[in-house]
Structure 1
Amino acid sequence: MEAFSFATSSALDKLQVHVRIDRLDGHQKPIPYSVLLKRPDLRHRASNTNSHSELYVTAQIWADSKPLTVQAQTVYKSFKNARVWNEWLTLPVTYSNLPLSAQLAITVWDLSPAEDKDSNHHAIPFGGTTIPLFDKDNTLQKGRQRCRLHRHKAADGLSSTTTPWVIPPARKGRKDAATEDIVDEQVAEMQRLEELLKKQEMGDIPQNQWLDGLVFKKMMKIRNEALKAEAAAQRRHNQAYSRDVNGTSDMADDELFYLDIELPRFDHSVVFTDTEYDPPPMTTAKLPSDSDVRLRPPPEVSFGPGINVNGNGYGDGDAGRLIRIYDPEIGRVDNPAEAKHRRLIRSQQTGTLDRDRKPNVDARDRLNTIMSYGPLHEITLGERDLIWKFRYYLLRDKRSLTKFVKATSWRDPLEVRQAAPLLEKWAEIDVDDALELLGPQFDHPIVRGYAVERLKNADDDELLVYLLQLVQALKYEAPGEGDDSSLARFLITRASNSFILGNFFHWYLMVEISDGSADQAPEHRDLFAKVEFDFMFELEKTSEGAAKRKTFLRQGELLTILTKISKDIRYARDDRPRKIARLKKFLADPKNELINIDPPLALPLDPSVMVTGIYPDEANVLKSSLLPMVLNFKTTTNTKYSIIFKTGDDLRQDQLVIQIITLMDRLLRKENLDLKLTPYRILATSTSAGAFQFIPSMSLAAAVSKYKGSLLAYLRANNPDDTAPLGVRKEAMDNYIKSCAGYCVITYLLGVGDRHLDNLLISPSGHFFHVDFGYILGRDPKPFAPQMKLCKEMIEGMGGPSHANYSQFKEYCFTAYSTLRKSSSLILNLFALMREANIPDIKIEREGSVRKVQERLWLEVSEEEAMRGFERLIEESKESWMPVVIDRLHGFVQHWRA
């Protein structure tokens, strides 16, 4: 098959439609004197007085029986030997805006000053023709076209036009068959020569001036003979009919005229393509960033017996016949009828009467039920009206503020005027509850400004826990607010006054700016870049701003060098010992300036640590597939700070999980429950690089292998105490039991998957913790994986399922689960703010990610039922055989790789 090229009509978005009016060919029959006696006004028509009289042409584009443009007209021109205009007309529409049904209606006008009855132009139609701009193959017509002119008719441009540019051949009678065959041969020869002329004009046939001149003369002669023959044949066909057109008998049928026009030629065929417009702005719901309307899949069509599916039915080949139609009602936040009802009801609930209204017993019970709803619970129309009715009564309950905001229509100016003053009078909400008001469903600046005012009550330590979500919340600012929002100004101000806060704020923004994937909208990258620019500008105003900016610059240089070294190590074709030797050589190279860092530099991973250099001899390369580097930094306190730096992986998901673990540890400590968690530090420095704190530890697989299948033996070897139960120092055993309970609960709530003995670690002091969070929210690459990772090795380290330590472990689990359920709103709000983040397991199902966490909190059941269910979960995980199979398979694969 030969290669072919074509262009689309939508690509011609700046080129207007053009047509060249060339010439008019035909023979006009003289008007008999008998007709002129009856119609003396006909003698004033210019075409009747002179066969080469002045005519002018108008062209107009029609579509679907309606005019699409105004008319374009040729200049007035006198003719001598032939009616030749040779004039290009420009129509006021571009090719990209042409519909498939577009037609060009061309009318030739005859001057007639004596017949100015219906027109102010002193003209009547000489003839008209209508030619479609796209042929039957949906390809734009081009080049020379010969159009049949319908006498005494203006081109109508209708879909079923009465002035077509081509008339199909009439059926032949027996008597005229032989004569008409001769006529058809003459017309066919004329058409053949015209096709050859088109090819020559397109450059397909070479030109020869002296020979072409002879051919053109012969063509004109053949054309004239063909016109006469065709007109005579037409006259014979119509001799049995008579019709009066402006006083003439059948002149319109006897006279045959053709109008030659020329359409622009293009290098390639131009195929019609329709423009895909955005959905009409009839919905109050926010559309996705790519303005795509997410429609349901087409329905499945089932056929009964005996129906020919592959013939005329909707078979596999005809699946495209099922079309999707945009419904503007899909996605509406408010039903129009309900919105009308709300306005009518609330317009009556104004004045002093509402201030004194108190709910009865039933209304108070309903209000208490509504106040207990979680942040994801939808409030019905009746519940919204009830909240609005008793809004003054609810002013003292801080739980009700978010419900009142949801019950208010912030697009109704009347309700906004009534609701806005109440926000300042409401009982002050907690900082963590204010996060809900920064979510995507609240875009009114008054609501978001109120939430920011409450955030000002948080200290820097608390703000740092929420900072990752607050940076993402910048995406939800209303159009027009952008980087000048109250949230952006607040974050910039606080980050400028705190170096630690500013350090993480800077790197969170830099990662989002560097995200060039399709999942990061360009307007969001621009927003983060503007916020970063404003942050740097605000830093300059502070006393230490210049020094802080220089620190951020030096941090960037350090990370750039480490990234280059890491990539060189990864792509080097050496075994691991040689890679380690290469790494040590790179670090010891003075030109890399890593042996001595002067002046001391705040480490981006932990800005409270000032580093002065790296120990090259202590560097290492781990066995992982991405070959991460282990680096030991010198600090100003003469201690070592170990980090793992890796490239080729996006650490933002791990960063989110560690941030949530840090938050949950903070919540548990508030309830005097220290579960000895190890939320190590982690920082994504770009979309493909990052660093995390190295904790001296050993994987459970290595510990069990080293101590002959016993984790208890590992604890006893590192913390011996002959007087303590099981021979393990009490403090180490407490660390182990508590940390096991904490991580079992947290990893269950977060749905952490791909758990095996190689990503479960334990430190010599007994602290147990998880690493590698590549799968969360219930995703797991292995089938039938348990919801909670509680393997027999972990229980054996406690002394077995019959030991008192295992009972203590379950008590810690119940307490931790109950405590975190009480803070469910905060946890769900943080995940809701991350809904649009470019994190792998969240972007798979953005709306469902928050609900997956909510399902594991069991908020719909009582506290007692939740504890019984969680105990069943522990027992099922303990007795599950699948983790044993998974751990053995993983160990076999790791051994085979090694």
Structure 2
Amino acid sequence: MEPFTFASLSELDLPVAVKVNRLEGFEKPLPYSTLLKRPDLRHRGSNLSPNSELYVTVQPFADSKPLTVHSQTAYKHFKSGRIWNQWLTLPLEYSTLPANTQLAITVWDLSPINPKGGDRNHHVPFGGTTIPLFDDDATLRIGRRKCKIWRHKAADGFSDTTTPWQEPRKRGRRAQQEDMIVVDEKQSRRDAELERLVGLMKQHEMGELPESKWLDQMVFRQIEKLERQQVKDSTRPKHPPQKLENGDTEVNNDPLCAEDDPDHIDGSFFLYLEFPRFDHPIIYTDHEYPPPPISAVQTATAQTTGAVNFKPPPEVQLGPGIQSDTNGASDTDGGGTRLIRIYDPEVGYADNPAEAKHRRLIRGQRNALDRDLKPNPKMRDFLNKVMSYGPTVELSDKEKDEVWRFRHHLTREKRALTKLVKSVNWSEQTESRQAIALLPKWAEIDVDDALELLGPGVRNPAVRAYAVDRLRKADDDELLLYLLQLVQALKFEPKRAKDDGEDETDSSLASFLIVRSAANLKLGNFLHWYLMVELDDEAPTKAAEKNKKLFARVSYDFMKELEATPEGQERRNVLLRQGEFITVLSKLSKDIRNSRADRVKKIEHFKKLISDPKNDMLTFAPPLPLPLDPDINVSGILADDCSVFKSSLFPLYINFTTSAGSTYPLMFKTGDDLRQDQLVVQIIALMDRLLLNENLDLKLTPYRILATSTLAGAIQFVPSAPLSTILSNTPKYKNSILGYLRHHNPATPSAPSVLGVRKDAMDNYVKSVAGYCVITYLLGVGDRHLDNLMLAPDGRFFHIDFGYILGRDPKPMAPLMKLSREMIEGMGGDTGEGQFGIFKQYCFTAFSTLRRSSSLILNLFALMQDASIPGLKGFDAEGGSVGVGTGAVGLGPVRKVEERFKLEMSEEEALGFLAQLIEREMGAWGPVLIDKLHGFTQGWRT
């Protein structure tokens, strides 16, 4: 099948337009006898002059109904022909058009006498035509069109129109007779020449033929002349004269003028239109809704694997005579009757009214009895199983009923609150009031459960306020780990109506973030920049535009709160100076990136821009807290130590001097969305803290990244070397990681060593490789090659460039875990005195520790669903949904991470899986081939 490039109609946000070119036609004048019968025709414009003033109206129709009001051509005085050459724009866009849209085009004639009487409506239809906007292949019509005008009829626009733009083909003997039209040789040559010229004209309009104005005008006039002649030829008798039985020739009975009916005058008219042309064909596309769930096919296997279950299939007991087996059949032939399943789309989405009523009655009656109700051992095991469910699992009706039934008993179980919130029907006031009354009595929940209650599925203000109260107990350092997600959670806050009718977001979470950030410079710095990214004018999606008003309000309230603090005005000035600094830096980066000079000249130009006093970048007085790390106060920039990286976007290398007398290098780039890298590094920092809480320091390097807009940001520069450089022909490293470690950390008699490397450096290497192997596997980091695997001189190994996550990878045969043979040889190999055994133990411990905190990590990803980050899109069809309170929420990216945790396995089974994964990736040849091809490609580009 040949490739076909096309554009989607849903992306075409342009108004519908059509150009009315000219009207061509010919008809016999009215005979005097007709004017005697109809004296009103004497003064009709088209009967007075062949070039009388007509006007055209265009109105879109669909399903025999008008879509908008009509558009009309302006008045124009015609001299030699009825030529408008006017574009008409309709008040609707292409993206909103139905597939059966038609344009009803009517040419109106003017008459001083209304044929129907009265003093109004002195216009009568000269003729009409109806043309569909899409052809039979659902492709938008473009270019010039020739439409037949049906005389004395207004275009009806009906689905079965009586004024089609092309005369319908007739069938039977009549059609065969019309095919035998007598056409002389001269007329056939004219038609062939006209067809050739029209084809060349289309090529000219598409830019395929060179333009020559004086010659083009001559060709256009010739085409118009041929088209007029073709119209005149169409008025000739269509049937050849037939010989009668007596030998005479048949007289043509086609009337030149119907004297009794002046609305049927011999003649033919055509209206020439022109539709806009586009670079590609425009194919009709409608909004695609997700397929409704078919709950009747849900199986027990889906429940155990954590798949989505909207409702379990009902238990069906078949009556006599309709059994599917032969024993219960009542057929006379002895065969079994076949049970036919009919799909009901409401089964997956809507509640059964009888079940809902039953649930309300049962829950309302048991209120007093449930207070002292305690589960028996069997029910206790059932509830414990429900409590172990992750945040993505939807509870069945039975599980919801049992959680609600033992709600008073479960108040001492902190994990049960999120399950209760899922079990409550929040549309029932009585039930919701009982649930809210239990919140003060509940055991203190963990932070991961609080984040789940702030997700998009929970809309009850009391429940969200309870989750915010739990976050108040977290210190500033812990809150900073979740701040990125908490800013996104502001989108899910319920709205309350003000007295003046304006909607304003309820500020329970917003006020908490504002107060805490105003009291802490570090929190305030990052809250400000997270809000600035959401308010970026270059935000790529409509969803971001929708939330700008919300974030603008939060930013305004944050600035007001800063004024109320003792140091508020000073901190506001700091944020203002940071904004000016980032604005200048972004401008310099764009200038360098857009410059056509080579890299050496770009570096010289960049140093001159830094040194230019107009940019005020050499010194900062007083020192400025760096937006990337507000704990660092920078006092200036070392212009001679600045550079430009060798990359397609030419990132800037900037070395700052700090107030403490040290230097702080960073990389600043524009043209790239760093929000995804920022999210991944934030999750790595969180995982590092979770491991440290278990006394496991894996020497991770969660370097800092801050997106200052949707297409710009800063990255902390960590002195290191990519593995591709270390493993290349570098004599001092002996083309090995172990040689690199020995060069920078040689063994000394006074310090313990391993494999000729100082022991602390080897520990750093083994621990960091284990940590990043597990973390990049869990996050599904893709596009791993030797250029984005870094090694610092002190032995710390880390990854950079997280453009592909959640299992996405641009290369085939991509590994689940990046563990090359060279990395293992840096530990001394997998045998003998090597550190490979210790490496595997670190992997197992890290994997087991992070599995226990899987709910926290999954909830953080769930809060980022609407962040418009490219790597989190496109998983809705694979992911499921969870409904808490009101509605359901897509959790595709969350499920991708959940799959990597192997939560359906026991801990022993999960560690066995990880051991097999390590062994498989060690001997895999696919990653080796990918590294070789990548190195070859990079070398060729260089």
Please tell me the TM-score bracket, short chain as reference.
0.5 to 0.7
Q: Which residue of 2 aligns with 1:253?
A: none
Q: Secondary structure at the match of 2:346?
A: coil
Distance 2:622 2:61 in 1: 63
Contact 2:780 2:816 in 1 (8 A): yes
Measure, in 2, the Cα distance between the counterparts of 1:4 and 1:17. Answer: 11
Name the SS for the 1:800 alignment partner.
coil
CA distance in 2, matches of 1:831, 1:851: 10
Paired residue type of 1:768: F
Q: Which residue matches 2:816?
A: 787
Matched, 1:350 2:422: no
* 2:355 aligned to which of 338, 362, 381: 338
Taking every aligned residue pair, what percent have the same amino acid on both sides? 56
Distance apart, 1:696 and its partner CA: 0.5
Residue 108 of structure 1 corresponds to none
Name the amino acid aligned to 1:513: L
User: Which residue of 1 is the match for residue 221 of structure 2?
Assistant: none
Aligned to 2:691: 668
1:469 matched to 2:492? The reply is no
What is residue 384 of structure 2 aligned with on the other side?
368
1:560 matched to 2:618? no
Kindly tell me: are residues 88 and 379 of structure 1, through their superposed partners in 2, closer, same or farther at Cα, counting changes over 3 Å? Answer: same
Matched, 1:709 2:735: yes
Q: Are 2:456 and 1:440 aligned?
A: yes
Q: Please say if residues 680 and 693 of structure 1, whose CA atoms lie closer than 8 Å, have aligned partners that are also in contact.
A: yes
| Equivalent runs, 1:455-466 vs 2, <5 Å | 455-466=471-482
Measure the CA separation in 1 of the matches of 2:737 and 2:580. 43
Q: Which residue of 2 aligns with 1:453?
A: 469
Confirm whether residue 591 of structure 1 aligns to residue 594 of structure 2.
no
Kindly indicate whether the alpha-carbon contact (under 8 Å) linking 2:61 and 2:157 is maintained by their aligned counterparts in 1.
no
Q: 1:422 aligns with which of 431, 438, 450?
A: 438
1:756 to 785, 789, 797: 785
Change (3 A) 1:388 1:795: same
Aligned to 2:519: 497
Q: Which residue of 1 aligns with 2:532?
A: 510
- 2:408 corresponds in structure 1 to 392
Letter of the 1:824 counterpart: S
Per the alignment, residue 844 of structure 2 pairs with: 814
Q: 1:465 to 1:333 in 2, by over 3 A?
A: farther
Whole-Å separation in 1 of the counterparts to 2:396 and 2:427:
18
More RCO (CA 8 Å, sep 6+)? 2
Residues 717 and 182 of structure 1: is their aligned pair in 2 closer, same or farther, counting only changes over 3 Å? closer
- Offset from partner CA, 1:614-654 (integer Å, 9 cap, x none): 00000011112211111011111011011000111000000
* Match runs of 1:540-551 below 5 Å: 540-551=563-574
- Is this contact kept in 1: 2:257–2:266, CA < 8 A? no
Secondary structure, aligned partner of 2:738: helix
Partner of 1:896: 940
- Equivalent residue of 1:590, what SS? coil
1:52-71 equivalent positions in 2, closer than 5 A: none
1:594 aligned counterpart, secondary structure: coil
Q: Distance in 2 between matches of 1:522 and 1:327?
A: 37
Secondary structure of 1:813's counterpart equals helix
Name the aligned partner's letter for residue 457 of structure 2.
Answer: Q
Query: Quick check: 1:519–1:838 contact (8 Å CA) kept in 2?
Result: no
- Does 2:892 align with 1:848? yes
| TM-score normalised by the chain length of structure 2 | 0.65
Conserved? CA contact 2:292–2:345, under 8 Å: no
| CA gap 1:136/1:487 in 2 versus in 1, 3 angstroms | closer
Summarize deviations over 1:163-188 as a string: whole Å, max 9, x none: xxxxxxxxxxxxxxx9xx89996456
Shift in Å at residue 571 of structure 1? 1.6
- 1:443 Cα shift? 1.2
Change (3 A) 1:625 1:708: farther
Tell me if the contact between 1:836 and 1:843 (Cα under 8 Å) persists in the aligned partners: no
Instruction: State the distance in 2 between where 1:621 and 1:555 align.
Output: 22
Q: Which moved more, 1:793-802 or 1:524-533?
A: 524-533
**Which residue in 2 is equivalent to 1:85?**
118
Amino acid at match of 1:8: P
Q: Residue by residue, what CA displacement relative to the aligned partner does 1:415-469 show, whole Å, maximum 9, x if unpaired?
A: 1111110011111102232000011111111211111111111111111100111
Q: Residue deviations 1:18-46, cap 9 Å, x none?
A: 9xxxxxxxxxxxxxxxxxxxxxxxxxxxx
Partner of 1:766: 795
> 1:491 Cα shift?
1.2
> Given that residues 766 and 827 in structure 2 are in contact (C-alpha distance below 8 angstroms), is that contact kept between their aligned partners in structure 1?
yes
Distance (whole Å) between structure 1 residues aligned to residue 360 and residue 611 of structure 2: 74
Gaps of 5+ in 1: 19-79, 90-129, 142-177, 205-265, 269-289, 298-325
Q: In 2 relative to 1, CA 330–350 (structure 1 residues): closer, same or farther, beyond 3 Å?
A: closer
Q: Give the aligned length.
A: 650
- Structure 1 pair 484–88 and aligned structure 2 pair: CA distance change class (3 A): farther
Equivalent residue letter for 1:504: F
AA partner of residue 191 (structure 1)? D
Greater fraction of residues in helix: 1
What's the counterpart of residue 720 of structure 1? Answer: 746
How far 1:717 sits from its partner (Å)? 0.5
In the superposition, relative to structure 1, how do residues 483 and 194 fare at CA in structure 2: closer, same or farther (>3 Å)?
farther
Tell me whether 1:658 sits opposite 2:681 in the alignment. yes
Cα distance in 1 between the residues matched to 2:156 and 2:542: 40
Q: 2:626 matched to 1:603?
A: yes
Q: Take 2:817 and 2:402, find their aligned partners in 1: how far apart are those partners?
A: 42
**Compared CA separation, residues 411 and 86, structure 1 to 2 (3 A):** same
Q: Counterpart of 2:586 in 1: which secondary structure?
A: helix
Equivalent-residue separation in structure 2 for 1:830 and 1:681 (angstroms): 18
Is the alpha carbon distance of 1:387 and 1:696 closer, same or farther for their aligned partners in structure 2, counting shifts above 3 Å? same
Partner secondary structure for residue 714 of structure 2: strand
1:457-510: CA deviation from partner (whole Å, max 9, x where unpaired): 111111110011111111222344753331112111211111110111111111
Deviations 1:284-310 (A, max 9, x none): xxxxxx99743479xxxxxxxxxxxxx
2:855 alignment partner in structure 1: 825
Q: Deviation of residue 894 (structure 1)? A: 1.1
CA distance in 1, matches of 2:353, 2:544: 32
Whichever residue aligns with residue 493 of structure 1, its letter is V
1:526 aligns with 2:526: no
What is the rounded CA distance, in whole Å, between the counterparts of 2:114 and 2:735 in structure 1?
Answer: 110
For 1:434 and 1:417, the matched residues in 2 are separated by 20
Q: Residue 432 of structure 2: SS of its match in structure 1? A: helix
Q: 1:753 to 1:82 in 2, by over 3 A?
A: closer
**1:8 pairs with one of 60, 75, 81:** 60
Worse-superposed segment, 380-389 or 484-493: 484-493
* 1:787-822 alpha-carbon deviations (Å, 9 max, x no partner): 000011111111111134110000000000000000
2:703 to 673, 676, 680: 680
| Shift, 1:338, TM fit | 3.2
Q: Please, which moves more after superposition, 524-533 or 450-459? A: 524-533
2:912 pairs with 1:868: yes
Q: How many Å apart are 1:836 and its aligned residue? A: 1.5
Instruction: Return the offset for 1:692.
Output: 0.8
Deviation at 1:329, TM superposition (A): 2.9
Equivalences for 1:141-156 in 2 at 5 Å?
none
Given that 1:732 and 1:765 are in contact with CA atoms closer than 8 Å, whether structure 2 keeps it comes out as yes
Cα pair 2:611 2:617 within 8 Å, conserved: yes
Residue pair 1:602, 1:608 contacting (<8 A) in 2 also: yes
Deviation at 1:889, TM superposition (A): 1.0
Shift of the 500–694 alpha-carbon distance from structure 1 to 2, 3 Å rule, reads same
TM-score normalised by length of structure 1: 0.68
Residue 797 and residue 295 in structure 1: after superposition, are their counterparts in 2 closer, same or farther (change >3 A)? same
| Alpha-carbon distance in 2 for matches of 1:486, 1:359 | 36
Deviation digits for residues 346-387 of structure 1 (CA, Å, limit 9, x no counterpart): 122112x21111111111110111111111111100011101
Decide whether the 8 Å contact of 1:741 with 1:810 is kept in 2: yes
Which position in structure 2 is the counterpart of 1:805?
A: 835
